[in-house]
Chain A
Amino acid sequence: MSPENSRIRVTDIGGVMRVEFVDRDILDESAIRQISKELLQRIESSPVPRMLISFQGVEHLSSAALGTLITINSLSKKRGGQLRLSDIKPSIMEVFTITKLNKLFHISETAEKALDGFGGK
């Protein structure tokens, strides 16, 4: 499914695509473009996409990465699905708060809580 040089790992957990990042820094534009392409393809190929993006281990995040998350969120909603985010360390949470994107995204403390949040939907 994912190309060999993929910067993400995707695991299916009871119908939810759990996404984790290989790198600590999500800054490089070409890497972000590749991640975006892979995630959008996965959402487009799912009838009702349910995606959990875990930021476990991520230390830095740029506004280009935020843009990708917004696009993924919009497409997921459009297809009747849902995107949730989890495991965001405090320094990165501040980026979400400053940009007020904490109002746009469903953010859970842990992946487990996020998975519970998908419920039976």
Chain B
Amino acid sequence: MMPPSHSASEGSVKLYEKNKEIEGVQDQIADALQKFAYPEAAMFAIRLSLEEAMMNGFRHGNLEDPTKTVEVRWHIDSEVANFHVIDQGEGFDPEAVPDPTLDENLEIPSGRGLMLIRAYMSDAHYHLPGNHLEMSFKRMAKS
């Protein structure tokens, strides 16, 4: 079934306070995805990836500094949902994150956000210096 025809949905928001603002952004994006009739599995994948990306931005990027923001930008159309999540930290090398699925790392309680994003999204990569994640969900490839 072809998704309904609409013009693309775009948005941009700067978040200052993770606990109060993340849910509102998630709801706005879920509404946009619903407008294009994205299937349930896609909604799940995108919600989880956005949650992980925003939390990583606040925690590991901004190091919980309340004066710093996490910016989220999105462009959603019937074929692709594209997101930028930009923190104000110094950036990091995503390749240096230990593989949490190795037996010796299974009991380490952190470090799974990025791997979930990579698993659920069609593409995810950091722009240098590593404080700007761009990720996309290509509808035909994943659902």
Contacts from A to B (Cβ < 8 Å): 27-30, 60, 62-64, 66-68, 70-71, 73-74, 91, 95, 98-101, 103-104
Contact = CB atoms under 8 A, between A and B. Distances in A.
A100 B106 contact: yes
Number of chain B interface residues as a range: 20 to 34
Given A60-B48, A70-B107, A103-B106, 6 more contacts: A60-B47, A62-B55, A66-B112, A67-B109, A98-B119, A99-B101
B71 interface: no
A27 B55 CA distance: 10
Nearest to A62: B51
A29 B106 contact: no
Contacts of B101: 99-100
B100 interface: yes
Contacts of B103: 103
Question: What is the interface of chain A mostly: helix, strand, loop, or mixed?
Answer: helix
Contacts of A62: 48, 51-52, 55, 113
B47 to A, nearest CB: 6
Contact of B116 (A63, A71, A103): A63
